Amino acid sequence: MQKIAQNLIKTIKIQFKQSHYLSSSNNDWTDNMSKKSFWQKFYSKHSTDTFEWLIQFDDSLSSLIENATDSVNKSLILDVGCGTSQFSHKLKSSMPSANFLICSDFSHQALELLRSKSNSQTIDFVQCDCKKLPYRHGLFDLIIDKGFTDSLLKETNTKKSIQQTIDSIDNHLDKLDNLGFLIQITDEDPELRISGILDHFAELVKPIMDNIANVDIDESGRFKYILIKVKSSENEKYVVRGYAWAEFHADILDEFEKANRDRRVAIECVGGGRILHEPEKKSILVYGYSLGFGLADHKISVELLKEKFADYNSITFSNDEWVLKTI
């Protein structure tokens, strides 16, 4: 489970060699980082200068983030708690697949300063509570958190600190695409952060595949079916779905995607066909193809059906044209 959690949240620990990059371990800041009033005062004092929290952007860090997220098309990026940092602007410029960046922060003053220094038509600035992002489920390919969660963890009330951190990360993950990444840049121990939220995400990361049945088809009759590949951050499997109510194979896929939209899985239909299910004979025949999705690998479908209907006498498939015409 820990491996899955680490896949969901990529945490980059920064070792500081230069004192002019302020760290969240700085004792003068520790008790105030979680307070809006502190940051409002800070941005008022530094109203004309951008400020880099933790670390500035460089090519080596860009490569590190690219390698950590190499399986994802980073088209839409969100920077949470950006302050007046230009880190994500430079990161976006270094990523060929990055089409649009949204910088979010509670401070209007910080965002206006960033806006004044940007002439890009593909960067937007949004004032919001970054613990409760005002975006739809699954929108972003990549979310950058450079020190934002650090500030939540500095809340002096430990119980409140842990709960608001858990709620915030939960909210951020909800806004990610199924295969998206939340990148956290911190100067603290990543293992402490991951272990602290592991129990909360147990339902999210543990039973993803277990909760998706391998086979779900009508109890009897002749109907369309599709073979679907389902992929999580940990593994992948095939599942079979077939129903007489479906006018088109695509209707079955739409229903499956709707039923699993809150799970962090990628869904791909790899073909279709038809099923003749005769429970009175304890028999299933898989045959045919889908005009839209092509011919499924019926052999895979049959193996899954055999597991589901272990007491059946005959579960077979055919690609023979004569068989297709006669049934």
pLDDT value, residue 195: 57
The pLDDT of residue 135 is above 90? yes
CA angle (135 as vertex; 153, 43 as ends), nearest 5 = 50
Could you please report the per-residue DSSP string of 16-60? ---TTS--TT-HHHHTTTT-HHHHHHHHHHTSSS---SS----HH
What is the set of domains in the chain, with CATH numbers? 2-205 (3.40.50.150), 215-326 (3.50.20.20)
Span of 5-9, 97-101, 134-138, 300-304 with lowest mean pLDDT: 5-9
Is residue 83 predicted with pLDDT exceeding 90? no
Check if 172 is active-site: no
When pLDDT is cut at 50, 70 and 90, the band that residue 300 belongs to is very high
**Cβ(148)–Cβ(80) under 8 Å?**
yes
Span of 49-53, 205-209, 276-280, 312-316 with lowest mean pLDDT: 205-209
224 assigned ligand-binding residue: yes
Mean pLDDT of the 195-209 span = 58
pLDDT of residue 197: 57
Please give the pLDDT value at position 138.
Answer: 87
- Higher-scoring residue by pLDDT: 63, 114: 114
> Which residue in 233, 248, 96 sits closest to 173, CA to CA?
233
The pLDDT-based confidence of 19 (bands split at 50, 70, 90) is very low
DSSP code of residue 188? S
Tell me, what's the pLDDT at 161? 78
- As beta bridge partners, residue 102 has 78, 124
Percent of the chain with pLDDT over 70: 77
If you average pLDDT over each of 37-41, 63-67, 101-105, 210-214, which comes out highest?
101-105
Closest C-alpha to 224, from 251, 255, 260 = 251
- Kindly name the residue from 108, 137, 172, 249 that is annotated as catalytic: 249
Averaged pLDDT for residues 52-79: 72
Q: Tell me what the mean pLDDT of segment 263-274 comes to.
A: 90
Question: For the residues of 239-275, what is the DSSP string, one character each?
Answer: EEEEETT-SSHHHHHHHHHHHTTTSS-EEEEEEEEEE
* The pLDDT value given to residue 33: 72
Report the C-alpha gap between 14 and 215 in whole angstroms.
Answer: 46
The dihedral of CA 12, 18, 21, 23: what is its sign? positive
pLDDT, average across residues 307-326:
78
